[in-house]
Structure 1
Amino acid sequence: MKPVRILFVCLGNICRSPLAEGVMLDLVHRAGHGQAVSVDSAGIGAWHVGAPPDQRSISVAKAHGIDIAALRGRQVGVADFAAFDLILGMDMSNVRDLGALAPSTMAGKVHLFMRYATGQAGDVPDPYYEAADVFETLYQTLEAGCLSLLARLEERAS
């Protein structure tokens, strides 16, 4: 597989994007592509820089055998546009914010996660103000998207 660097981005980097990072890393390693695919996550805002993921994201990941507890929030920066091949926003608001931050020559790296991964437009809803059970739905959405994304990357490589 051709090497690819992926950055998942949500609003604060504590719910959706770190869970997407964990899910994608797990899938990549199980598929034997750990050397070719690197993954990270970041947030649009700086509210949670240095903080661990939301406990509900940690818990749902752990229930599926994935440990994201050591991840720490960080804010997306201009340097990320040079460092990553794909920058995937969890919702259209994230994509708009990323587009405004992106150097004009690198704006083509920014995509809506579900549209890029599955071909279906749609936001990954922010579960921050929701009950813990919503995080299982979030996990299922991210897993489906990441599986589709991995298949797309494998197809591109062949």
Structure 2
Amino acid sequence: MIQVLFVCLGNICRSPMAEAVFRHQVKEAGLDAVIAIDSAGTGDWHIGHPPHQGTRDILDQYQIKHEGLKARQVRSDDFIQYTYIIAMDASNVTNLASFAPDFVEGEKRATIHKLLDFAPDRSIKDVPDPYYTGNFQEVYEMVEESCERLLAFIIEKEKL
């Protein structure tokens, strides 16, 4: 099973949006039996909370299921359990380092990417946080495009 973890700061806006969008795309591609998806935050402020209302509203607008999503914090075992960890911005990548366990040589570990690495034609490299900007539509468009390209990348790399 290929496992993908999306990460942002609080796990209530960007990463649960990416989780829901990517889960939808994976299901549409008929790969939901081989790709598992989750999300987490580097912060602990929202643990157990559902996605932000703005995230839920935009997902509802595009008829993407989000029921049951609850915020959680990144754990050190995520680096071993997941195949890919996809961060929303550079600060998330930096913050992930504080959760990473020490690895034994030969031990499987996740590869870490920024989501917008999969949208190289975009002028910005970090997904802005709509918790602060309020621009859930702009973030949705970035997430949808980048997730499509992420899925294509995984299909090619994993030979699916």
Does TM, scored on the shorter chain, surpass 0.5? yes
Query: Could you give the per-residue CA deviations for residues 102-146 of structure 1, whole angstroms, max 9, x where no partner exists?
Result: 12437762222221x334671011110223xx1111111000000
Of 113, 127, 149, which aligns to 2:115? 113
Structure-1 separation of matches of 2:84 and 2:66: 21
Indicate if the aligned counterparts of 1:99 and 1:110 stay in contact, CA closer than 8 A.
no
Tell me which residue corresponds to 1:144: 145
Q: Secondary structure at the match of 1:42?
A: strand
Alignment of 1:83 with 2:86, yes or no, is no
Counterpart for residue 97 of structure 1? 95
When the two structures are superposed, what TM-score results if normalisation uses the length of structure 1? 0.90
How far apart in 2 are the matches of 1:66 and 1:108? 27
Return 5+ residue gaps in structure 1 as ranges: none
CA offsets, 1:63-85, max 9 Å, x none?
Answer: 11112142000000101111101
Within-5 A mapping of 1:34-53: 34-53=32-51
Larger proportion of helix: 1
TM-score, L = length of structure 2: 0.89
User: Could you tell me how far apart the structure 2 residues matched to 1:154 and 1:129 are?
Assistant: 34
**Superimposed CA distance per residue, residues 38-93 of structure 1 (whole angstroms, 9 cap, x where no aligned partner):** 00000001100000000000010011111214200000010111110111110000
CA root-mean-square deviation: 1.7
SS of 1:101's equivalent in the other structure is coil
Displaced runs of 4+ in structure 1, greater than 6 A? none
Contact in 1 for aligned 2:6/2:38 (Cα 8 Å): yes
* Structure 1: distance between partners of 2:76 and 2:94: 14
Q: Percent identity?
A: 40
- Name the CA distance, whole Å, in 2 between partners of 1:50 and 1:81: 21
